[in-house]
Chain A
Amino acid sequence: MKKTGAEIVIECLKREGVKHIFGYPGGVVLNIFDLLYDDKDLKLILTRHEQGAVHAADGYARATGKPGVVLVTSGPGATNTVTGIATAYMDSIPIIVFSGQVPTKLIGNDAFQEADIVGITRPCTKHNYLVKDVKDLARTIREAFYIATTGRPGPVLIDLPKDVTGDKTTFQWPEKITLRGYNPKYEGNKWMIKQAASLIQKSKKPVIIAGGGVISSNASKELKDLAEYTMIPVIMTLMGLGAFPGTHELCLGMPGMHGSYYANRTIQEADLLIAVGMRFDDRVTGRINDFAPHAKIIHIDIDPTSIRKNVRVDVPIVGDAKRVLKGILQVLKETEKKQWDAVRKAWLKQIDKWKKERPLTYEFDEEVIKPQYVVERLYEFTKGKAIISTEVGQNQMWAAQFFKFDKPRTFLTSGGLGTMGYGFPAAMGAQVAFPDKTVIDIAGDGSFQMNIQELATCVTYKLPVKIAILNNMYLGMVRQWQELFYGERYSYSYLDVVPDFVKVAEAYGAVGLRATKPSEVDDVIKEALKVKDKPVVMDFIVDWKEKVYPMVPAGAALDEMIFGEEKKKKEKKLRAVK
């Protein structure tokens, strides 16, 4: 039976188990949109910007573990997806982007709405395709899903010229695909696994650092099993939050630039780092030459290029986090039995001392709302049941510091690219996947305005996404750097005109709420959580002077942290002198 290219796209998506597409129409993709008009099984969520569509698909993928799908038109539609694709690429998120393209005969002619999107996205996709013949279409789509979701996951783009979606061919679903140039290695080397186990046996001061790879490999259980069996404390990178329970006694939170004192201290003192599914980003390591000076390093990653890219490694293990962690625990259980509690006692006691010495704190205020307080209250009201996304800036760091994530796939944040405007559409995507869950975007006033148009999408599809704006009237993180490192010269970081977010919400047909005093925070959250059929914007007018601490300045070592209290004391002294 012959099918058109557009019919093949729809058929393949269904066979891949896709239920939702995020997209935006235009001339060259109308063949496909026409079929979606009365399709019962495939639902397209019409966003208000292509960037919103990609972030939504990304949020959908992070929250579910299934690939997100995007459909946009050629030229500007395609170029609008680039930030979203790069965001997914940096965080290894599986999405498939279908972009329309001008008819094959016109490619290269500077035709109307032509853009070389395959060229543009080459460095920010795991792989991409231009389909020139409808006969290649089914296999290409199958390959794209396979590549996006296996190995180290990532975005794949398929460029579809208009004539290819109109041409007919006999449809054939490739049951199996083999790519001779692509064979991800899942099983870790047995000898290396034994080496890792033996280092763990010998070490006195070990620590695990878990990254986003633990989440994409669904290895949370294996991580917990290993940590609990050997009594090794666990640090999670921003991307790893949720991989290990945030409320667990072995959890030390996040390392790096805005990590906890005790996490950073633990890394600097440790004699063994077990790095799983993380890639030693500069925000994590601080000055690389002084990172973990006493530690041997075991590095487990599915992507060989991550290993030895930034740090020296003693035991490299290329493989799937789940299988490797399981393998290590098995070896440990089979060899010498140890009283791990006793072995770890001194180390854990030391860490506990650091925890008490400098916990993550802030100063509560009766008059002005502290942004950290909002995050804490959101946590208290939703404990363990909500999916949280963030924008980028101070809001992102406070969310990471003060919200405790107990389950994987409940924290959606743009870690690698740091994309402002990511959080809201990502939350929307997660809400599409889980209509009954509470989904909250912890936002900044600057970032929210970058994809604020998606309020219309949420209203249209009755998506009750909650947006909690930590409104400081500033590009707060930029302001923080200018305050600390640029002599308080606040160059273009003040957002002179911030709209009345309550009115904006109402104008879109959403609910708008505001809190200006700490005493109003709970009521606003309670009110927001009641709403089940439309988005809610919570405008928290917070202390604009608040900064994210501790902080390891860019280029400093992890133990060269700045703390809030000391900074404040200095300020007071300065004032007295003046």
Chain B
Amino acid sequence: MRHTISVLVENKFGVLARISSLFSGRGYNIESLSVGETIDPQISIMTIVTTGDDKIIEQITKQLNKLIDVIKVTDLTEIDHVEREMVLIKVAPKQEDKAEVLRLTEIFRGRVVDSSPRTYTVEITGDEKKISAFVELMRPFGIKEFVRTGKIAIAREGVKK
């Protein structure tokens, strides 16, 4: 099963390497990983999306906790949380399809952040379902390039952990 794990770490060099080598060394799978500073510049937060059965996920969270530079590990899958991901898609629709691309972008509350005579670059934010739905809709128009941030996630307030 897929799990979204949020990891608070010391903001030191080498920490990302420790985490990624833990995953590769033990044969765990990383679907996406995003890192950024928190409000406290000494602490970073990583959101890791991984898959595995219960036993593997238990090992992953325990092994993460065991790293000296890891401050806190939360498996968000188990609690109510909000997830977001952002993608930038460069599409090259035919002249007659341009209006449709713009219309779909609007429906998905996306934004065109760059345009050229032949392409639009669209920014979409949302959860996984929304993003994959949009990507599928764009596919027939010709996706030239596609980048995604990886998932970030946060627990909803007022829920017991």
Q: Which residues of B contact A122 (CB under 8 A)?
A: 14, 17-18, 21
Q: Which residues of B contact A126 (CB under 8 A)?
A: 68
Contact (Cβ within 8 A) A308 B66:
no
Closest B residue to A182 by beta carbon equals: B68
Q: Give bound CA distance, A181 to B15, whole Å.
A: 12
Say whether, besides A122-B17, A123-B25, A308-B55, A180 and B71 are in contact (CB < 8 Å). yes
Q: Which residues of A contact B25 (CB under 8 A)?
A: 123
Taking the nearest CB of chain A, how far is it from the CB of B57, in angstroms? 12
Chain B residues numbered 41-60 whose CB sits less than 8 Å from any CB in chain A: 55, 58-59
Chain A residues numbered 146-165 whose CB sits less than 8 Å from any CB in chain B: 147
Interface size on A, residues (CB 8 A): 17
A303 within 8 A of B: yes
SS class, residues of chain B in contact with chain A = helix
Say whether, besides A130-B14, A181-B68, A181-B71, A123 and B62 are in contact (CB < 8 Å). no
A119 within 8 A of B: yes
Closest A residue to B70 by beta carbon equals: A181
Q: Give bound CA distance, A303 to B67, whole Å.
A: 12
Contact (Cβ within 8 A) A305 B63:
yes
B65 within 8 A of A: yes
B69 within 8 A of A: yes
Say whether, besides A118-B14, A123-B21, A130-B14, A305 and B68 are in contact (CB < 8 Å). no
Contact (Cβ within 8 A) A309 B59:
yes
Q: Give bound CA distance, A366 to B43, whole Å.
A: 71
Interface bits B74-107 vs A (CB < 8 Å: 1, else 0): 0000000000000000000000000000000000
Contact (Cβ within 8 A) B66 A303:
yes
Q: Give bound CA distance, A309 to B65, whole Å.
A: 15
Q: Which residues of A contact B70 (CB under 8 A)?
A: 181
Closest A residue to B43 by beta carbon equals: A180
Q: Which residues of A contact B127 (CB under 8 A)?
A: none
Contact pick for A181, options B17, B58, B59, B69, CB 8 Å: B69
Contact pick for A305, options B10, B14, B21, B62, CB 8 Å: B62
Q: Which residues of B contact A304 (CB under 8 A)?
A: 62, 65-66
Q: Give bound CA distance, A304 to B22, whole Å.
A: 16
Say whether, besides A127-B68, A181-B68, A119 and B58 are in contact (CB < 8 Å). no
Q: Which residues of B contact A308 (CB under 8 A)?
A: 55, 58
Say whether, besides A304-B62, A305-B63, A308-B58, A147 and B68 are in contact (CB < 8 Å). yes
Q: Which residues of B contact A181 (CB under 8 A)?
A: 9-10, 67-71
Q: Give bound CA distance, A182 to B9, whole Å.
A: 11
Contact pick for B66, options A118, A119, A305, CB 8 Å: A305
A342 within 8 A of B: no
Taking the nearest CB of chain A, how far is it from the CB of B10, in angstroms? 6
A1 within 8 A of B: no
A576 within 8 A of B: no
Q: Give bound CA distance, A197 to B73, whole Å.
A: 31
Closest B residue to A132 by beta carbon equals: B13
Beyond A122-B21, A130-B14, A179-B68, 7 additional pairs, beta carbon < 8 A: A126-B68, A181-B67, A303-B66, A305-B59, A305-B66, A308-B55, A309-B59
14 contacts between A and B (CB under 8 A): A118-B14, A119-B17, A123-B22, A126-B68, A130-B14, A147-B68, A180-B71, A181-B67, A181-B68, A181-B69, A181-B70, A303-B66, A305-B63, A309-B59
B-side residues, CB < 8 A to A, are: 9-10, 14, 17-18, 21-22, 25, 55, 58-59, 62-63, 65-71
| Closest 8 A/B residue pairs (Cβ) | A305-B62, A127-B68, A181-B71, A304-B62, A123-B25, A182-B68, A181-B70, A180-B71
